[in-house]
Amino acid sequence: MILPGFLSASERLDLEVCVRSQREDHGVARRANAILLLDDGESCVQIAKFLYLDDDTVRGWYKTYREGGWDALCVDGWKGGQSRLSVTQEGELCDWLEGRFCRSTAPIRAHILKEFGLDYSHSGCLKLLARLGFEYRKPKGLPRVAPAEKQAEFIALYERLLNELGADEAVYFADAVHPEYETKPAMAGSRQAQTPP
């Protein structure tokens, strides 16, 4: 159990300034808030409930504060890890992704596991894709237009058909399927659009 009243008046004032400051990092202000609440006599469990944390996190912050003071607690020592894929593997993955339209991370994660033997989580795969320059977005829908040569070829065929009809023949048009008027492109991961300098 952590006994209340362990802060000196000057320590308490420094922490209160941090909590009230609009310029402080949110995570640093939360740590200062937790230490102040502990000094007020609140339990780690209650503080964790108020701040949506684990009570062991609050205990760890208290321990860090007691051992190193505010200077130790206000430092965010989080550093990102090194990529699990080599540069060559990342290049191979980019080449593989360029030829596909993946609507989720599942096929990408399966490919990474199969080809490189690495098991990525959903969020880890999203971060990897973002770092490699891919984004999850909805592509812009474009009308489907046949090339000019194909259109000219069809018009010539159609005119020849009409000109060669017998007196007892007719041309009928049938529509077996009613396609949707406006297509809805699906979201998928693709390369980020490059903006000109």
Model confidence over 129-179: pLDDT tens digits? Answer: 888 888 776 666 666 777 889 889 989 999 998 898 888 888 887 766 666
* pLDDT beneath 70, residues of the chain: 22-24, 76-81, 137-143, 175-197
Beta strands in the chain (DSSP E): 134-137, 188-191
Domain chopping of the chain, boundaries: 9-73, 87-137
**Beta bridge pairs of residue 189:** 136
Distance CA 115, CA 138 (A): 28
pLDDT at 93: 92
- Please answer whether residues 70 and 62 qualify as being in contact, where contact means their C-beta atoms are separated by less than 8 angstroms: no
Rg for the chain, CA atoms, rounded: 32
Q: Specify the pTM.
A: 0.41
Distance CA 152, CA 154 (A): 5
pLDDT at 122: 85
